[in-house]
Structure 1
């Protein structure tokens, strides 16, 4: 008689596992998280060109507020079927803006373990936004952050920090 392994449904669900994570597993996971932004950057360039063609936009905008409004409306609708919930300028730093999504679609279907609380799938979207800003000659550092809301699921805030010369150029254009 041939002995078969126990079917998966008959295996013990409560067996104890070590709480430690293998270093190579952690390194692989960490490299994948970083690559989300890099892949988003590559995708962002293509999305920007595609939306410019569909909107029949002849020129690339280079004013900060106009670009951010374009991302907040057109790009967000293209990606998620709705406009972002808010676009705000930081009260603390003149070079920072925030795009907020109170109901993040990418996070709905992803279960993130407690020990990986810093992981945010919106790093991919941050890469897309960074590419669009760079294509519009407004280089910046874009990061995604998960922020709790009272009584609601977590929301995602995309933090955009423009390079210094972008705001210097903006001030010069505003004074003309």
Structure 2
């Protein structure tokens, strides 16, 4: 699903969900089409700049499944930062981040419809304070692994928890600001949008 309400291209959009959103609702910190997980929606246009464009960094944590077994050396390159390619073919050095291996998993499948095969995959968490240029996917690729799944599990203290795909959880404005660690004293008023 696209994390937007309007698109020039056909496909599932946020408006396809069985919920009536207030006028002016928009996504904060979009997910690309091949990613899944926590997506924040609000009618308050100032939240995006407070969360992703301010001088105060805000953490985003992703659960990532990659092909093959990732070793400590590759994990360390993610943690210390590495070069990724961005638009225009330029290199971008990622800043240090938090990363840890959660588990290894063996996937079994039928190869060419006849014989069974298996593939070892690695699940890891990566916590960043930025998310530029499809950064997580490019980081794990630069570390020698292909991203198979990418799930955003939290933004600051706002967690995906047991929320299922397509489910919506209403969060009161004060709790929303508190869990996102936003200094919004000038934004909170009885008439402020949610």
Please indicate, yes or no, whether the TM-score normalized by the shorter chain is above 0.5. Answer: no
Scaled by the length of structure 1, what TM-score is found? Answer: 0.31
Going by fraction, where is strand more abundant, 1 or 2?
2
**Structure (1 or 2) with the larger CA radius of gyration:** 1
Going by fraction, where is helix more abundant, 1 or 2?
1
